[in-house]
Structure 1
């Protein structure tokens, strides 16, 4: 009796050709093997299926009733298996109907969406993009469960696990942002003058200190944080109307300075540049839709410097 654990499934391919050709020599040519090898394959099929399958008659090789009953099921199995192993069809953004979920900060949203959203609207009108604020903890479970497709943000803040794919998109650095006409802020801003100013801290987690405070503490200094807010937008509106200042990523600060009376000055602190990265799970690395979205994000980021 045939047993699936010991049955050579490759024999089904030979069976399909033998039934189509009903000739060992022609079936051998289609499989690119010798006639003797195909005869051996036929013998193995007969043993495995416990049936002659093809019998010599005056009219040629004739299938047995058992063989005829297997023709359609075997052809269906082979077709299904071929579909399973075939490479997925290329992603077609124009006809795609799906939503992507991205975890990102409002900093990334403000920079990326003005470049990304119009292009996707033109190229993939059925694609929806949902940006979600990243939590204070890295959203690993949501990424592993497919609830989030990509994570975008500062690498130093996200600190992604090593097993995830992480790609650098661009870098940025902090500047001092103040209202135009501020009496103390200019290109020659000193550390002493900077510390004496009232500061706004943007903290999405509600923390009372940030990167600037950490640097100052390491150097035995301290500043006064007069106001803590959770969003860059509200902070920039307040800075534009008061003598408070804030440390702000240069790229976003330049955006806000286009519409608000704000000026940028070098920060009198030696803070590092920050890499903005794109993170995805290895399970999604070869997914055509995820590959397409990552390419679109790369293109949008490249356009930031043009």
Structure 2
């Protein structure tokens, strides 16, 4: 057996099969699907040139070869967990590890400051870097390890090797406008909304599609005269043009009180967006990565309660 990163992952699968004697139970323990477990077992058999586990009645029984390597594998995994991974977890306060997080400008504005502050309190030398969420590059980045964590709305991620965790459901959407008449009225009725001149924001993220689909379902139309890729561009566009735009309500603090910009509720029911975090299974058992995921989850969910 020639060792590789993928082969080493098979050792964890081997351990789970030895302990549970069941493909489905081992998969549940490792949070792997039945097809993923079957694929891993197939690769294991090829790597060892042996069936390794055979079905006897209702159990997967180890072969002689599996019994022969069981103890060395157990010792290797125990050594790794005790001598390597446990030290990673304990060294977080001095670690200078760089984590790459994928998020949109909305995430950078609404969530990233809180995450940075929480990281610096617990691990002051850890560094964070953000990248934009282009779907094709995101999947490639997660798989290659170039992206540690993605935070946001990602309806198109279908990679079977990733885990997802719900963080929060945002507060929906609202309007901002530079139209003085709308601002003076303090509200926007549906007819005015549809007749207004709009600037649409279509970021590399996908959250804006939620509001667009909701409007399409209600047969509500916008007169879009300009489209931009970033919400924060609206800070100068809205007061200088008098246009109207839809923004996530989470961004309200960045626009409210700015001269020439009025924040108004939508004249129809606003949908909300589920914000999740995604990571590849290669990072699933990494203690430092688990620490970061737990910190992100606790920080953003605490924000909802505050």
TM range, normalised to the smaller chain? 0.5 to 0.7
The alpha-carbon distance between structure 1 residues 236 and 289, as it changes in their structure 2 partners (threshold 3 A), is same
Q: Contact conserved, 1:178 with 1:264, CA < 8 A, in 2?
A: yes
Counterparts of residues 152-301 of structure 1 (less than 5 Å): 152-156=151-155, 158-161=156-159, 164-172=162-170, 173-179=172-178, 182-185=180-183, 186=185, 188-204=187-203, 210-257=209-256, 262-301=261-300
1:228 shift after superposition: 1.1
Q: Contact conserved, 1:201 with 1:210, CA < 8 A, in 2?
A: no
Q: Secondary structure at the match of 1:110?
A: helix
Q: Contact conserved, 1:115 with 1:303, CA < 8 A, in 2?
A: no
The separation in 2 between residues aligned to 1:218 and 1:81, in whole angstroms, is: 53
The separation in 2 between residues aligned to 1:227 and 1:206, in whole angstroms, is: 18
1:200 shift after superposition: 1.0
Q: Are residues 1:111 and 2:110 paired?
A: yes
The separation in 1 between residues aligned to 2:205 and 2:138, in whole angstroms, is: 18
1:132 shift after superposition: 0.2
Structure 1 gap segments, 5+ residues each: 1-77
Q: Contact conserved, 2:154 with 2:205, CA < 8 A, in 1?
A: no
Structure 2 counterpart of 1:83: 79
Q: Contact conserved, 1:201 with 1:227, CA < 8 A, in 2?
A: yes
- Per the normalisation by structure 1, the TM-score is 0.64
1:165 shift after superposition: 1.6
- Per the normalisation by structure 2, the TM-score is 0.64
Question: What does the per-residue CA deviation read over 1:219-254, in whole Å, with 9 as the maximum and x for residues that have no partner?
Answer: 445321122111111113221343211110001123
The separation in 2 between residues aligned to 1:83 and 1:94, in whole angstroms, is: 23
Which structure has more helix as a fraction of its residues? 2
The alpha-carbon distance between structure 1 residues 141 and 220, as it changes in their structure 2 partners (threshold 3 A), is same
The structure that has the greater radius of gyration is 1
The separation in 2 between residues aligned to 1:249 and 1:139, in whole angstroms, is: 22
1:80 shift after superposition: 7.5
Counterparts of residues 22-33 of structure 1 (less than 5 Å): none
Q: Contact conserved, 2:134 with 2:205, CA < 8 A, in 1?
A: no
The separation in 1 between residues aligned to 2:294 and 2:76, in whole angstroms, is: 32
Q: Secondary structure at the match of 2:182?
A: coil
Q: Are residues 1:148 and 2:147 paired?
A: yes
Counterparts of residues 119-130 of structure 1 (less than 5 Å): 119-130=118-129
The alpha-carbon distance between structure 1 residues 138 and 262, as it changes in their structure 2 partners (threshold 3 A), is same
